[in-house]
Each structure stands twice: as C-alpha cells, then as structure tokens.
C-alpha cells in the first residue's frame, strides 16, 4: 500500500479498539503516519477503561469484539462526561445495511468497512477531527455566553438594587426628615401648645405617605425609570 506524506497536523490522541491484532497494527500505523498518537486496546472493555482515564480525540472501533462490542462501547462512551463530544469511526468487516443503520442509530459518527483504503481513512479521520474541533469551539462559546449572561444578570440586579435604594432614599427622605423635625418639636413643646398638636398631625400624615410609598415599591415596574441627578436614574413610583 503506497502512502504519500500527509500535511503536518497537530498531534491528536486516537483510540483504536479491535480484537484483531493485524487490524490494530495496520490502523495504528496509518494513524502514526498521519502525525497522531495511537492508543491501541484489544476490546471494548479496555477501550472504556482508557476513556475513563483520559478521553481521546477520536475513537476507531470494531463492530464485533468480545465482552463489550462496538455498539455497546459506543453507547457507554456517550455516558462518560465529555464522551458525547468524542467522534466515533466504526471500522469493521461487517458491511450489511442493517449493521450500518444500527451503528449510526447508536451514535457512531462514521462507518468504514474493511479492507479500507488509506486515502479514505485519512480523509474520514481528518473530517471527524475537524468536527470535534468545531464542537469543542461551540461548547467553549456556549460556556462563554453563559458566563456573560450570568455577569449581565448580576449587573442588572446590582443596578436594580441601586435604583431601588435611590428611589427609597429620594421618595422617603423628605417625609423622614419632616418626621425627625416634628419629633424634635414634640420633645421641646408642651402638650397644650398648638404647635405640638400640629406636629403630631404632621407626623401621622408623613407616616401615611411613607406607607403608601412602600406599597408602591412592592408593585413598581422595573422599566419605569426617571432621572434623579447627574445622569443617575431611579425607579418611578407613579406614572405621570
């Protein structure tokens, strides 16, 4: 079999699971020529143990293997955290349509029958590794977007808290100041002084206003805002 020199590529860890020694040697040789690192095991059980230790970048597995066959191995690999992102190429002598359909339905990404052509195996390995790279980039982007969303939500919550605090300070500050002033007058004036009675009434009115404001805060709309000062916004208690 004549093999041309492939273009240099980043070394990948390729798992090869096959109970046939000759097939293991041939496939491992091809993978090495492609510039990747073959990890060779005899069957599906050993392959799963290897995946538990470290996930490969690609798995090339036989259909028929003792104990754990290719279909079962594929199913169990997908249950390992991160295993769903490992592409699987089934390389087997079984070429019936039913076998191909069963493998694809179980999660195999590509199916190649023996004897295989080097150029075809090379192309399929390269394509599957490219798909893995794209999937990993997509996962990374999704994680980045998730973190950005979390930061955005946290920022929005902080802004909302600040606006609520500003609203409370703005709306409740005036009646609170009036209450404090009238309390001072009550402490200084005799009870029969008309100003004493006036201060008492004023306190009751201001307390009533504050209760109404607190009720408004419970039902406030986050989108209803108004400028407070120097570009700072607070929540708007009542629509104009």
Whether 222 shows a pLDDT value over 60: the answer reads no
Euclidean distance between CA atoms 200 and 33, whole angstroms:
94
| Residue 13 DSSP SS3 | strand
pLDDT digits (tens, 9 = 90+) for 194-215: 888 888 888 888 888 877 777 7
Query: What pLDDT shows up at residue 46?
Result: 94
Query: What pLDDT shows up at residue 3?
Result: 40
pTM assigned to the model: 0.62
Nearest-10 Cα torsion for 45, 51, 57, 60: 0
Mean pLDDT score, 114-124: 92
Euclidean distance between CA atoms 74 and 147, whole angstroms:
32
Q: Assign a CATH topology to domain 146-235.
A: Helix Hairpins (1.10.287)
Mean pLDDT score, 96-125: 93
- Rounded to the nearest angstrom, the gap between the alpha carbon of residue 79 and the centroid of all alpha carbons in its chain is 18
Mean pLDDT score, 43-71: 94
| Domain range list for the chain | 13-116, 146-235
Mean pLDDT score, 165-192: 78
Mean pLDDT score, 63-85: 93
DSSP label at 82? T
Euclidean distance between CA atoms 106 and 178, whole angstroms:
75
Whether 240 shows a pLDDT value over 60: the answer reads no
The residue with greater pLDDT, 45 or 179, is 45
Whether 9 shows a pLDDT value over 60: the answer reads no
Query: What pLDDT shows up at residue 218?
Result: 64
Task: Tell me the average pLDDT of the chain.
Answer: 83
Query: What pLDDT shows up at residue 188?
Result: 81
Mean pLDDT score, 151-165: 69
Contact between residue 30 and residue 121 where contact means Cβ atoms under 8 Å apart? yes
Euclidean distance between CA atoms 32 and 122, whole angstroms:
11
What token pair was written down for 150? Answer: 């979390």
From 154-158, 162-166, 178-182, the region with the lowest mean pLDDT: 162-166
Query: What pLDDT shows up at residue 159?
Result: 67
CATH among 3.40.50.970, 3.30.1490.190, 3.30.360.10, 3.40.50.2300 for 13-116: 3.40.50.2300
Query: What pLDDT shows up at residue 125?
Result: 95
Query: What pLDDT shows up at residue 21?
Result: 92
| pLDDT confidence bin for 123, thresholds 50/70/90 | very high
């Amino acid at each position: 079999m004549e093999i041309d020199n492939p273009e240099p590529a980043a070394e990948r860890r390729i798992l090869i699971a096959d109970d046939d020694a000759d097939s293991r040697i041939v496939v491992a040789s091809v993978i090495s020529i492609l510039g990747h690192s073959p990890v060779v095991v005899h069957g599906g059980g050993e392959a799963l143990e290897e995946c538990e230790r470290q996930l490969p970048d690609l798995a090339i597995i036989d259909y028929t293997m003792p104990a754990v066959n290719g279909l079962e191995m594929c199913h169990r690999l997908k249950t390992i955290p991160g295993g769903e992102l490992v592409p699987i190429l089934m390389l087997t002598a079984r070429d019936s349509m039913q076998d191909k359909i069963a493998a694809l339905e179980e999660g195999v990404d590509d199916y190649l029958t023996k004897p295989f052509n080097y150029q075809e195996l090379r192309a399929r390995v390269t394509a599957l590794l490219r798909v893995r790279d794209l999937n990993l980039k997509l996962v990374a982007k999704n994680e980045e977007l998730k973190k950005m969303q979390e930061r955005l939500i946290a920022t929005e919550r902080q802004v909302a808290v600040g606006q609520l605090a500003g609203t409370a300070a703005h709306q409740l500050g005036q009646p609170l100041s009036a209450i404090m002033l009238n309390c001072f007058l009550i402490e200084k004036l005799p009870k029969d002084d008309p100003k004493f009675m006036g201060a008492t009434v004023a306190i009751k009115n201001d307390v009533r206003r504050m209760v109404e404001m607190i009720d408004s805060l419970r039902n406030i709309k986050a989108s209803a805002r108004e400028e407070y000062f120097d570009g700072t916004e607070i929540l708007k208690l009542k629509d104009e």
